[in-house]
C-alpha cells in the first residue's frame, strides 16, 4: 500500500490529490494567493485531515504547475504537461482512448496529443498573452460585474453571439466596455467571450492536430458555456471529468506512484552485496 | 530540493564533477565579455591595424585577412552596448539589433573602421542605414545564386572596398595565406563538432556555443590552437567515460534563429531542463561539418575558388535553405528531439520553421517550436515547455518508441 500525493500549484488555484492503490482518497482546492509554499503546505494538511491519514504515511510527493519548484516538501517535480496527460488518460477509461487533451488553466492553455498508450507525442501552449486562458474570462467577468461561475449559464441564454478579439486580453477589455456602452446584451457579450477563448484554443489544436477522443479539463471546464463554444469551434464532443480542476494534481500523484514502482523494480534487480 | 524528472540523479552527480577540459573552457568564456574584445582591439589599433566588424563566420573572412584587416564578431555584446541604445523598435530582430549595437559601441570607442553588414532582410537593411550615419558600412548581400562567375565578381568588389580601408590590396599570395588560416579554423571547428556525435563527449551545448562565439574575438591562430587543445582533452575524457544510454540526457538538435550568448540563452535553458544540445544549424556549424571541400585550402586558391565557400554560407538559419543537411545531422548525431527556435520578429523564418518541424515529426523525430524575443523575460514559461519536451523524450526512450 503506497499513499502518494500530487500537488499542482497553479497561478490561480492550488490543488492537492492523495492517491492510494489507484483510488483517490482526497482532493482539495484553494486559491494560491501570494505565497505558493504556504498554500501547498496548508492544502496537504487539509487533504490528510479529510482522509484521516498522517504526513508520515505519504511515501512520495510530486509537485507540478507554475509554482512547482517552490514546493519544498516535494520529492520530485514534473511539468504540468506530463502530469496533465497522465491524469487525463487515467481518469478517462472509455472505449475510445483519449488522444487529445485541452487543459485551460489560469494563465496557460495547453493542447496535448497522446498516443494509444497514453504517451505524450506533441503539445502546444499559448504564448505570453492571457487571451484564451482562464485569466481572460476572469478579467472580463469583472468588467461585466458577473461572478465567474455564472458565465456559463448566462451565455447559454444568448440569442446573437457577438464577435470579440481573441488576440489580446487588453483589446478585448476595451471592446467589451464599448459593447456595454452600446447597450448590447450581457448574454451575447459573454457568449462572444467564450467564442473568443475557443478560437484561441482552436488555433493550438490546429497546431498539434485534432484526434478523438478529446478531453477537456482545468478550472474553466466547469463553465458549460465554454464547453459549448469549444464543441462548436472544434466540431467534436468533449469529455469533461467530474472535477476538471484536479486532473493535473491527480496526474502528479500518479507520477509519484509510478516513480515508487520504478524504484521498487530497480531495487528488485539489484545484485546482492558481496 | 526536489529533483526534476528531466534530470536523473545519476546525471546530476556527473554534472557536479568538474571535467578535465574546464580550464580550456575558461579561455573561451573569458573572450565573450565586451571588455576583453575592446582590450584586444585596442592593441591591434595601437600597431596601426584596421578593424573590420563582421556579422559572423559566414562571410568572406579570408579577404579581410588578406587585406591585413582584423576581423571581429559584432553580435553578442548587447548587454554592454545598452547605454548606446537609440530609439529602436520594441519588436526588432534581436540578432540584427545585437549586431547593430555591437557596431555602434565599438565605433564610439574608436575601434571600428568598417562594419560589414548583411543586407539579407528588411531589419538589417534599415539598421544599416541607421548605422551608416556614424559608422562606415559595407553592405554585403546574401549570395544571390550559385553562379560562381557572378559571385567571384561580387567578391572582387568586396576585396577592393576592404583594400581601400586597409591600404593593402588583396593579392593572390596573401589570399593563399589567409585561406590556409581559414581552413585551419574550419578544420578545428568541424573536428570539435564531429566529436559531439559521440555519446560520451563531455562538451555541453553551452560549452560548444561559447567556443563558437569566441571565434573572431581574439586572433584566429590563438583560437585555433586553443580549440585543438580542447579537442584533445575531450577525446581523452571521452575515452575514459563509460556510456550509459538509458541515463544520458536526450540529444537535441537546435534549429532556427541563432542564439545570442548574452540574450536569453536557449541552449542554457535546454540543458538546464535536462537535455543536451548536440548540434545546431547556426554559425555555419553544418556547413563546416558537411562541406569541407568548400574550404579553399588548395594551392590554386584565388577568387575563382572562394565563391564555393561563400555560396554555401548563411547568415541566419539553414532551415528552408538546406534542410537536407539538417536531416543528415539528425541521423549522424543520433538526435532524439528537435527544438525549432524563431525570434518573434522574424515572420519569414516562422513560416519555414513550422513546415520544417512538421517534416521532422513526420519522419519520427519529436519536435518543439519555441518563439522568443531574445531576452530573459519569458524564461520560466519557456522552461516549462522545454522541461515537458525533455520529459516526453525520456518517456519515449523508456517505452522504446
**B379 contacts in chain A (CB < 8 Å):** none
> What would the mean pLDDT of B345-365 be, rounded to a whole number?
85
From the CA of B365, how many Å to the nearest CA of chain A? 10
Residue to test with chain A: of B3, B5, B340, most A Cβ within 10 A: B5
Q: Mark whether A21 and A117 lie in a shared domain.
A: no
Q: Grid coordinates in use for B12?
A: 546530476
Q: Is residue B284 part of a domain?
A: yes
Q: Is residue B3 part of a domain?
A: no
From the CA of A70, how many Å to the nearest CA of chain B? 9
* CA neighbor of B186 nearest in space, from B148, B223, B219: B223
What is the percentage of chain A residues whose pLDDT exceeds 90? Answer: 60
From the CA of B3, how many Å to the nearest CA of chain A? 5
**What number of other Cβ atoms are within 10 A of residue A105's Cβ?**
27
Q: Mark whether A112 and A35 lie in a shared domain.
A: no
| Reported confidence tier of residue A11, pLDDT bands at 50, 70, 90 | confident
Query: Any residues with CB less than 8 A from the CB of A78 and at least 6 apart, and which?
Result: A62, A63, A64, A68, A252, A255, B4, B5, B391
Residue A37 to residue B340: CA distance in whole angstroms: 34
- Cβ atoms of A244 and A11 closer than 8 Å: no
Q: What is the CATH number of the domain that holds B108?
A: 3.40.50.11900
Q: Is B391 on the interface with A (CB under 8 A)?
A: yes
- When mean pLDDT is compared across A80-84, A94-98, A121-125, B283-287, the lowest value belongs to B283-287
pLDDT of residue B306: 63
**A124 contacts in chain B (CB < 8 Å):** 369
- Cβ atoms of A169 and A136 closer than 8 Å: yes
* CA neighbor of A155 nearest in space, from A173, A174, A140, A135: A140
Q: Phi and psi for A120 in degrees, rounded to 5?
A: -65, 130
| Reported confidence tier of residue B8, pLDDT bands at 50, 70, 90 | very low
Q: Is residue B1 part of a domain?
A: no
Cβ contact, residue pair A123, B391, below 8 Å? no
Q: Mark whether A87 and A136 lie in a shared domain.
A: no
Higher pLDDT, B400 or A52: A52
Q: Grid coordinates in use for B301?
A: 586558391
Enumerate the H helices of chain A as residue ranges. 36-51, 80-91, 134-144, 151-156, 169-181, 186-208, 224-234, 247-269
Q: Mark whether A78 and A126 lie in a shared domain.
A: no
Domain with B85 in it: 9-399
pLDDT of residue A139: 83
Query: Any residues with CB less than 8 A from the CB of B324 and at least 6 apart, and which?
Result: none
Higher pLDDT, B396 or A273: B396
Q: CA B340, B343, B344, B347: dihedral to nearest 10 degrees?
A: -80
Domain with A44 in it: 1-92+243-274
Q: Mark whether A58 and A114 lie in a shared domain.
A: no
DSSP helix, strand, coil percent of chain A (3-state; round to 5): 50, 20, 30
Per-residue pLDDT at B298 exceeds 50 = no
Instruction: Report DSSP state, residue A219.
Output: G
Cβ contact, residue pair A76, B387, below 8 Å? no
Cβ contact, residue pair A77, B4, below 8 Å? yes
> What would the mean pLDDT of B32-53 be, rounded to a whole number?
92
From the CA of A13, how many Å to the nearest CA of chain B? 18
pLDDT of residue B307: 58
Q: Grid coordinates in use for A45?
A: 494538511
Cβ contact, residue pair B391, A66, below 8 Å? no
Report how many helices (DSSP H) and strands (DSSP E) chain A contains, helices first: 8, 10
**Check: complex ipTM more than 0.90:** no
Q: Is B361 on the interface with A (CB under 8 A)?
A: yes
pLDDT of residue B381: 82
CA angle B215, B218, B219 (to 5 degrees): 100
Residue showing cell 562567375:
B149
What 3-state DSSP class applies to A18? strand
Question: A-side interface with B, Cβ within 8 Å?
Answer: 63, 66, 69, 71-72, 74-82, 108, 117, 119-125, 127-128, 207, 255
> What would the mean pLDDT of B369-378 be, rounded to a whole number?
78
Higher pLDDT, B246 or B98: B98
Q: Mark whether A197 and A186 lie in a shared domain.
A: yes
Residue to test with chain A: of B1, B2, B7, most A Cβ within 10 A: B2
pLDDT of residue A268: 65
Per-residue pLDDT at A259 exceeds 80 = yes
Q: Mark whether A135 and A61 lie in a shared domain.
A: no
Q: Mark whether A168 and A88 lie in a shared domain.
A: no
Per-residue pLDDT at A129 exceeds 50 = yes
Residue showing cell 554555401:
B312
Query: Any residues with CB less than 8 A from the CB of B121 and at least 6 apart, and which?
Result: B93, B96, B316, B346, B348
**B5 contacts in chain A (CB < 8 Å):** 76-78, 82, 255
pLDDT of residue B10: 47
* CA neighbor of B271 nearest in space, from B400, B389, B98: B389
Q: Phi and psi for A156 in degrees, rounded to 5?
A: -70, -15
Q: Mark whether A28 and A69 lie in a shared domain.
A: yes
Q: Is residue B302 part of a domain?
A: yes
* CA neighbor of B340 nearest in space, from B370, B377, B363: B370
Cβ contact, residue pair B2, A63, below 8 Å? yes
Q: Is B14 on the interface with A (CB under 8 A)?
A: no
A273 vs A265, A267, A269, A270, B9, CA distance in Å?
17, 12, 12, 9, 21
Residue B51 to residue B72: CA distance in whole angstroms: 7
pLDDT of residue B313: 59
Q: Mark whether A6 and A114 lie in a shared domain.
A: no
| Tens digits of residue pLDDT in A21-51 | 889 999 999 999 888 899 999 999 999 999 9
Enumerate the H helices of B76-147 as residue ranges. 78-81, 94-108, 122-131
| Reported confidence tier of residue B13, pLDDT bands at 50, 70, 90 | very low
Per-residue pLDDT at A12 exceeds 50 = yes
- Cβ atoms of A146 and A153 closer than 8 Å: no
Residue showing cell 459573454:
A190
Q: Mark whether A184 and A56 lie in a shared domain.
A: no
Going across the sheet that includes A120-125, the strands are A120-125, A109-114, A100-104, A214-217, A238-239
What 3-state DSSP class applies to A2? coil
Mean pLDDT across chain B: 81
Q: Grid coordinates in use for B400?
A: 522504446
Q: Phi and psi for B260 in degrees, rounded to 5?
A: -95, 130
CA angle A47, B384, B273 (to 5 degrees): 110
Residue A174 to residue B316: CA distance in whole angstroms: 39
For helices A80-91 and B379-399, give the axis angle rounded to 10 degrees: 50
> What would the mean pLDDT of A101-112 be, rounded to a whole number?
92
Q: Which of B3, B378, B388 sits opposite A81 (nearest CB)?
A: B388
Our measurement of the distance from residue B19's CA atom to the centroid of its chain's CA atoms, rounded to an integer in Å, reads: 24
- Strands (E) in B292-364, as ranges, are 337-343
Q: Is residue B2 part of a domain?
A: no
**A119 contacts in chain B (CB < 8 Å):** 392, 395-396, 399, 401
From the CA of A107, how many Å to the nearest CA of chain B? 10
Cβ contact, residue pair B388, A80, below 8 Å? yes
Q: Phi and psi for B125 in degrees, rounded to 5?
A: -60, -45
| Tens digits of residue pLDDT in B182-229 | 889 988 988 998 899 988 888 999 999 999 889 999 999 999 999 999
- Strands (E) in B163-284, as ranges, are 251-256, 276-280
Q: What is the CATH number of the domain that holds A69?
A: 3.30.420.40
**B385 contacts in chain A (CB < 8 Å):** 81, 123, 125
**B392 contacts in chain A (CB < 8 Å):** 81-82, 119-121, 123
B49 vs A61, B169, B218, CA distance in Å?
63, 14, 14
The domain tally of chain A equals 2
| Closest chain B residue by Cα to residue A69 | B2
Sign of CA dihedral B23, B25, B27, B29: negative
Cβ contact, residue pair B2, A74, below 8 Å? yes
| Closest chain B residue by Cα to residue A83 | B388
Residue B323 to residue B325: CA distance in whole angstroms: 5
Residue to test with chain B: of A4, A75, A79, A135, most B Cβ within 10 A: A79
How many residues are recorded in chain B?
401
Q: Is B366 on the interface with A (CB under 8 A)?
A: yes
Q: How far apart are the first and last CA of chain B?
A: 31
What is the percentage of chain B residues whose pLDDT exceeds 70? Answer: 77
- Cβ atoms of B328 and B335 closer than 8 Å: no
Q: Mark whether A224 and A235 lie in a shared domain.
A: yes
**What number of other Cβ atoms are within 10 A of residue A119's Cβ?**
16
The domain tally of chain B equals 1
- Cβ atoms of A258 and A85 closer than 8 Å: no
Q: Grid coordinates in use for A72?
A: 519544498
Amino acid at each position: 500500500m503506497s499513499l502518494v500525493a500530487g500537488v499542482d500549484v497553479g497561478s490561480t488555484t492550488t490543488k492537492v490529490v492523495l492517491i492510494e492503490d489507484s483510488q483517490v482518497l482526497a482532493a482539495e482546492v484553494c486559491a494560491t494567493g501570494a505565497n505558493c509554499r504556504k498554500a501547498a503546505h496548508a492544502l496537504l494538511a487539509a487533504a490528510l485531515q479529510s482522509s484521516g491519514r498522517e504526513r508520515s504515511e505519504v511515501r512520495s510527493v510530486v509537485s507540478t504547475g507554475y509554482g512547482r519548484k517552490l514546493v519544498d516538501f516535494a520529492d520530485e517535480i514534473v511539468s504540468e504537461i506530463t502530469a496533465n496527460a497522465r491524469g487525463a488518460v487515467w481518469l478517462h477509461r472509455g472505449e475510445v482512448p483519449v488522444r487529445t487533451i485541452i487543459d485551460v488553466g489560469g494563465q496557460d492553455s495547453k493542447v496535448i496529443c497522446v498516443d494509444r498508450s497514453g504517451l505524450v507525442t506533441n503539445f502546444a501552449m499559448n504564448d505570453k498573452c492571457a487571451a484564451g486562458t482562464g485569466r481572460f474570462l476572469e478579467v472580463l467577468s469583472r468588467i461585466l460585474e458577473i461572478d465567474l461561475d455564472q458565465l456559463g449559464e448566462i451565455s447559454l441564454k444568448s440569442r446573437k453571439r457577438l464577435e470579440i478579439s481573441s488576440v489580446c486580453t487588453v483589446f478585448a477589455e476595451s471592446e467589451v466596455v464599448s459593447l456595454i456602452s452600446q447597450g448590447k446584451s450581457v448574454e451575447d457579450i459573454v457568449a462572444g467571450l467564450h467564442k473568443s477563448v475557443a478560437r484561441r484554443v482552436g488555433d493550438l489544436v490546429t497546431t498539434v492536430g485534432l484526434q478523438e477522443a478529446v478531453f477537456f479539463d482545468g478550472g474553466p471546464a466547469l463553465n458549460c458555456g465554454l464547453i459549448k463554444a469549444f464543441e462548436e469551434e472544434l466540431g467534436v464532443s468533449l469529455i469533461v471529468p467530474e472535477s476538471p480542476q484536479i486532473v493535473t494534481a491527480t496526474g502528479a500523484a500518479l507520477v509519484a506512484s509510478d516513480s515508487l514502482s520504478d524504484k521498487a523494480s530497480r531495487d528488485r534487480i539489484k545484485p546482492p552485496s558481496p | 530540493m526536489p529533483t526534476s524528472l528531466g534530470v536523473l540523479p545519476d546525471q546530476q552527480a556527473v554534472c557536479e564533477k568538474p571535467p578535465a577540459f574546464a580550464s580550456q573552457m575558461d579561455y573561451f568564456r573569458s573572450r565573450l565579455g565586451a571588455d576583453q574584445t575592446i582590450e584586444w582591439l585596442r592593441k591591434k589599433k595601437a600597431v596601426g591595424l584596421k578593424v573590420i566588424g563582421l556579422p559572423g563566420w559566414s562571410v568572406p573572412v579570408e579577404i579581410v585577412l588578406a587585406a591585413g584587416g582584423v576581423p571581429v564578431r559584432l553580435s553578442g555584446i548587447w548587454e554592454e552596448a545598452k547605454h548606446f541604445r537609440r530609439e529602436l523598435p520594441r519588436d526588432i530582430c534581436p540578432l540584427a539589433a545585437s549586431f547593430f549595437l555591437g557596431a555602434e559601441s565599438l565605433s564610439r570607442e574608436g575601434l571600428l573602421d568598417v562594419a560589414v553588414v548583411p543586407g539579407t532582410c528588411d531589419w538589417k537593411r534599415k539598421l544599416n542605414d541607421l548605422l551608416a550615419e556614424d559608422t562606415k558600412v559595407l553592405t554585403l548581400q546574401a549570395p544571390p545564386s550559385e553562379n560562381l562567375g557572378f559571385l567571384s565578381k561580387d567578391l572582387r568588389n568586396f576585396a577592393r572596398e576592404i583594400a581601400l580601408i586597409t591600404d593593402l590590396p588583396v593579392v593572390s599570395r596573401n589570399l593563399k595565406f589567409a585561406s590556409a588560416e581559414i581552413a585551419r579554423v574550419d578544420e578545428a571547428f568541424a573536428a570539435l563538432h564531429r566529436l559531439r556525435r559521440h555519446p560520451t563527449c563531455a562538451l555541453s551545448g553551452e560549452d560548444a556555443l561559447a567556443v563558437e562565439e569566441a571565434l573572431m574575438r581574439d586572433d584566429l591562430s590563438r583560437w585555433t590552437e586553443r580549440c585543438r587543445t580542447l579537442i584533445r582533452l575531450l577525446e581523452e575524457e571521452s575515452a575514459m567515460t563509460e556510456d550509459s544510454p538509458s541515463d544520458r540526457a536526450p540529444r537535441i538538435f537546435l534549429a532556427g534563429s541563432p542564439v545570442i550568448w548574452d540574450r536569453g540563452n536557449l541552449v542554457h535553458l535546454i540543458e538546464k531542463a535536462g537535455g543536451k544540445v548536440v548540434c545546431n544549424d547556426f554559425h555555419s556549424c553544418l556547413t563546416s561539418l558537411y562541406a569541407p571541400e568548400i574550404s579553399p585550402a588548395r594551392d590554386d586558391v584565388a577568387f575563382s575558388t572562394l565563391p564555393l565557400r561563400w555560396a554555401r554560407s548563411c547568415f541566419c538559419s539553414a532551415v528552408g535553405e538546406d534542410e537536407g543537411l539538417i536531416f543528415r545531422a539528425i541521423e549522424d548525431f543520433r538526435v532524439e528531439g528537435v527544438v525549432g527556435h524563431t525570434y518573434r520578429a522574424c515572420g519569414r523564418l516562422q513560416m519555414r520553421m513550422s513546415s520544417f518541424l512538421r517534416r521532422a515529426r513526420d519522419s519520427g523525430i519529436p519536435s518543439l517550436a519555441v518563439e522568443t524575443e531574445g531576452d530573459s523575460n519569458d524564461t520560466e514559461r519557456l522552461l516549462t515547455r522545454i522541461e515537458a519536451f525533455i520529459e516526453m523524450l525520456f518517456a519515449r526512450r523508456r517505452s522504446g518508441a
